Structures are given as structure tokens and as C-alpha cells.
Amino acid sequence: MDKPNQRILDLHTNLFYKLFVTKFTKKTLIVDTTWVAALICELSRCIYWHFLIFIDMSIFSFRRTAFVWLVVLTLCSGYHSLAQRQECMPLSPQKAAAFEDWMQQKAKQARPLRTSETLPILRLPVVVHVLHLGEAEGEGFNIPKEQIVRQIQILNEDFRRIPGTRGYNTHPVGVDTRIEFQLAQYTPSGDPTDGIVRIDINSVTEDCPNCDLLENIAYYKYWDPERYINVWVYPGFRPNTLLGQAQYPETDLPGPVIKSEKGDGILISTPHFGETTLESDANLGRTLTHEMGHFLGLLHMWGVKWSCDNDDFCQDTPPVSGATDCNTHPVACDGTSAMVGNYMDYSGDACMNIFTNDQLFRMRTVLENSPRRKTLTSSTAIDRKIPVVRDAMVVYPNPTLSNEVVVAFPSNNIPETFELVALSVTGKEIYRANYTSNTEAEVTIKLPKSLENILILHIIAAGITYQTQKLVHIPN
């Protein structure tokens, strides 16, 4: 077993201190089981990591080491099974109520919501900060670029409800949010970037002892939250413990309702970032989808407390008293079927696949009004002058009499590599293949001979899925 890093140990020591102090400095002490378990868990983890770092492991047998670790796991297991995602949105009922009052004010001022298909597409820049322990790129916690690009692609598949992907659904209230995410192209100083920042946490010589989790992580690297969605990939949690955490949006009301300039972003535990082979029901990249929902103003399906008396303020999500499970077919508080596939539940990644119209409205209201959210839609961190592939790409001949077509890109927006996916009109995937353009504006594609009469073609490039027009095939 590798020795834990001193920086990670310091962070969890601070978390233990904060859990203790924030409770015992209040005038009225309300001790709940989740807090007690969290306190014990952080204390036991700190003790064990001190044990590993400061004691020569060569004098201890494997059996004794395993025993100590078993004690830690036992102390933490009850807490983690309850709160591995419950912690992902640190928001009190009082702050939630204040935010909801603000949300309702903005909703009344908003112009009538158009159908999802006619809403403008909002593109948001993302910077991914990969925190690692000094490994070479692509090894250990220093995850490869391909995994990061695929994670952004999954995010877009989910938010855009792309046919032929896990993000597609046929639910009557399921929607394409028309919100997209793109890795940043420019740094805060204007230099070109691939939107990925790698930080060896051993190189950071100071810490932030009085900060909460997100503020502490932001101390390692933090880009302007007015222009970027900061996503930190953090190696300090074991698999299947804390999956992620997000900062809830802020209102523009006077007073300290929700103020979070420091650490405004999303943390994802390294084992749960992107698609992995981890033995877990959270290994398909949906943790970031869930946390992005919080970042854009969505509550859990049950609100901020597990009870039928609470609400997520979305009329088209059946009320539930807590987390649901795809395997048990649970019933909602109103007697209808629970929406187990909603991204804001705790269902496994393989089950999640739906945002609703009311959730769409909340997220877009936040993006139109909330500080450090509304500026993202016009941020210059991504190039908005070059036409995107979706608006300029052409497939011809269309209709076609053969299985050979040409994909033509605009000369100023040619992807080096791209993936083509052909779907039936019902969303069934028929064909998928990777291509290299070699900087040529036109690429000839040979589709399977057994074509259906009408196809929908998708081009996937730079982690974003773009939809073309329908391709009509007329058999000879």
C-alpha cells in the first residue's frame, strides 16, 4: 500500500478540526448521527494516515496493518453509505429557502419559456485541475488527457440528451437542456490551453487551515470563476466514499445569503472521474453530471433533507423522501413511480439519464441571473467567433443513392480527428467509427451497405457531439 501524501493528510486533519469546531462553537448543539459518523471517520482516517507516514512500515506485519485499516473502514462505512453523495452540496435549509425566494422572483421576471428545441445553445468553458502526487502524465492520479476529454463528452451527452448515448431517454418530460461544456481554449492571461492544468500537490508549500473542502482545494489552483467552471480532480478520497462536491449558485440579493467567491467550482474524486474500470456503480462519468446540476442550481430530488415534506421545487419530478434505487422500482411520496433515472438522485451511473423541463428552467434561470454563472455564457475562455461544426458542417450528396457520403467542414474549423455515429430515427446506433481529417476540409465516409432509409449522423470532435441534418438514403 502506498503511503498517503502529507498534503492529503493535512487536508483531512483540517476537515476533522472544522467538523469539531463548527459544532461546538454554536450556542445550541444539535448532534446528528451523520455528523458523529463523519467526525469519527475523519479522526480515524487522520490517525491511520499519521500511522503510515510517520512510522516505519517495515517493523509492522501486513496483518497488523490490515487490522488497523479494517478498523478505519468499519468506522467510516456507515457514514459513507449514507453520505457519499449527501455531502456533495453543502447547503443549509435556511440558505436553500433564501435561494428559492430569489429563484421565484427571477422566474416571475423571466420571459415565457420556449420549447427546448428553440432555446439558444449555451456553451460554458471548463478548466480541469488534475491534482496528483508527482506521477508522470497518464499514470496513477495524474489521469490521461483521453479520460478527461471523454468525461466532457459524457457531460454533453447527458445535458444534450444525445441519441445513441447513455444520456438519451424517451421519457415524456425528458429534455435536451441545450447547455454544452467545452474545455477552455485560453488561459486567464490569454495564452492557448487545452483546458487541463496538472498540479503536483507536493509542490504547494502552504495550506489553507481555516478553509472548507472546496476552498482548500481551490488553494492549489483556481482560475477566474467569472470565466471558467473550475473542476478539481482530487486524489484524497478512497473509491466509493465521497464521490464529489459542488458549490451551489449565489444570488444577487443583498446580504450574506450564499456567498462563495472562494472555491466556487466542482470537486470530483479521482476514481470517479470519467469512465473507469472501478468496481462501483459510479464509474461511467455521471458524478460530474450530478455535481454540475448542483453547480447550476438543482437540488436533490428530495430537497435538502430526506423527507416527503421537502421539495426540489420541480413540479415534473415526483416527490421522494430520499435516495432511490433503479433495482427496487420505488414509489414516490405521491404514489407515482419515483424517477430513479434522474441525474439528481443517487442512482447508479448506468441508470441515470434524465433532466426534466422544470430542471432545465432552473438551470437556465441561474445562467441568466446568478453571479459567476451568467458571465460563463459569454466568456472569452473559448473561441466564440469561429462557427461551430454544428452550424457549418455539410454532408452530401443528400439524398444519396450509395453508402458513400462526404463530410465537409468549414476551412477555419477542421478537427484533426473525429468520430462518426450513425443512428436510426428511433435512436438506435447503427454505425460508429473514428476518422482522421489530415486537415482536409472534406472527408469521404463509407457507411455500411445495409443502410436504413433515414439516418441521423453525429460528428464527435474535441469532446463535443455535433448533430448534422438527416441523411436520406434511397436504395437502388
**CATH number for the domain harbouring residue 435:** 2.60.40.10
Report d(CA 235, CA 317) in Å as an integer: 34
Looking at the structure, do residues 72 and 136 belong to the same domain, yes or no? no
Domain boundary among the residues 83, 113, 140 is at 83
Contacts of 227 (CB under 8 A, 6+ apart): 125, 188, 375, 376, 379, 380, 381
Report d(CA 101, CA 121) in Å as an integer: 27
CB 425 within 8 Å of CB 467: no
Looking at the structure, do residues 400 and 360 belong to the same domain, yes or no? no
448, amino acid identity? P
Report d(CA 407, CA 364) in Å as an integer: 33
Find where cell 434561470 sits.
365
Find where cell 430526506 sits.
306
Looking at the structure, do residues 132 and 220 belong to the same domain, yes or no? yes
Provide the pLDDT for residue 213.
79
Contacts of 67 (CB under 8 A, 6+ apart): none
Domain boundary among the residues 83, 114, 134 is at 83
CB 196 within 8 Å of CB 230: no
Provide the pLDDT for residue 476.
60
> In Å, how far from its chain's centre is CA 118?
25
Report d(CA 142, CA 223) in Å as an integer: 19
Dihedrals φ, ψ of 250, to 5°? Answer: -105, 150
390, amino acid identity? R
Among the listed residues 242, 252, 249, the one whose alpha carbon sits nearest the alpha carbon of residue 298: 249
What are the beta bridge partners of residue 408? Answer: 394, 442
Report d(CA 17, CA 24) in Å as an integer: 11
Q: Is 452 among the catalytic positions?
A: no
Looking at the structure, do residues 289 and 395 belong to the same domain, yes or no? no
Domain boundary among the residues 51, 83, 115 is at 83
Global model pTM greater than 0.85: no
Domain of residue 464: give its range: 389-472
User: If the chain, 476 residues long, is cut into consecutive pieces of 10 residues, what is the mean pLDDT of each piece?
Assistant: 50 48 36 46 51 41 44 43 48 65 66 62 95 95 96 94 89 92 94 95 74 82 95 92 88 50 88 94 95 93 79 87 81 87 92 94 90 92 61 71 78 71 75 75 78 76 64 69
Looking at the structure, do residues 206 and 279 belong to the same domain, yes or no? yes
Provide the pLDDT for residue 323.
84
CB 295 within 8 Å of CB 229: yes
Looking at the structure, do residues 143 and 91 belong to the same domain, yes or no? yes
Report d(CA 452, CA 422) in Å as an integer: 10
**CATH number for the domain harbouring residue 258:** 3.40.390.10
Report d(CA 299, CA 293) in Å as an integer: 8
150 burial (CB, 10 Å; 0-12 / 13-18 / 19+) is: middle
Q: Which of 42, 180, 250, 291 is catalytic?
A: 291
What's the half-sphere exposure (Cβ side, CA atoms, 13 Å) at 45?
Answer: 28
Looking at the structure, do residues 262 and 164 belong to the same domain, yes or no? yes
Provide the pLDDT for residue 207.
64
